Amino acid sequence: TNLELIGVGGIYEWSDSIEFLRAGANAVQFSSAYNSKIATVTRQEDIASILSSFLIDQKQKLESYLGRKGIKSVTEIVGKIER
């Protein structure tokens, strides 16, 4: 069977997402980070700006990590737990 998994819960930054991907998740959701980032924000425009900046930053950090490891695609680490 070709089961797709999404890692959710406890993902606050890019390094957390690595753990979920290595454990077999095909995608991750930054909802924990989202909730902590907007907890005290009241303006909708501020929320959108904060989350957009955060996600761009996390994507860049993940891409940098993959590049340092010589990994061309995030799919190369899915299910590949480091020992």
pLDDT in tens, 9-35: 888 899 999 999 999 999 998 888 777
Q: Residue 75 gets which letter from DSSP?
A: G
Tracing tokens 């899915």 back to the chain, one arrives at: 78
CB 65, CB 14: distance < 8 Å: yes
CB 18, CB 77: distance < 8 Å: yes
pLDDT of residue 51: 85
| Predicted confidence band of residue 69 (pLDDT cuts 50, 70, 90) | very high
pTM of the prediction?
0.79
Q: Residue 72 gets which letter from DSSP?
A: S
Q: Tell me the β-bridge partners of 29.
A: 8
pLDDT of residue 1: 56
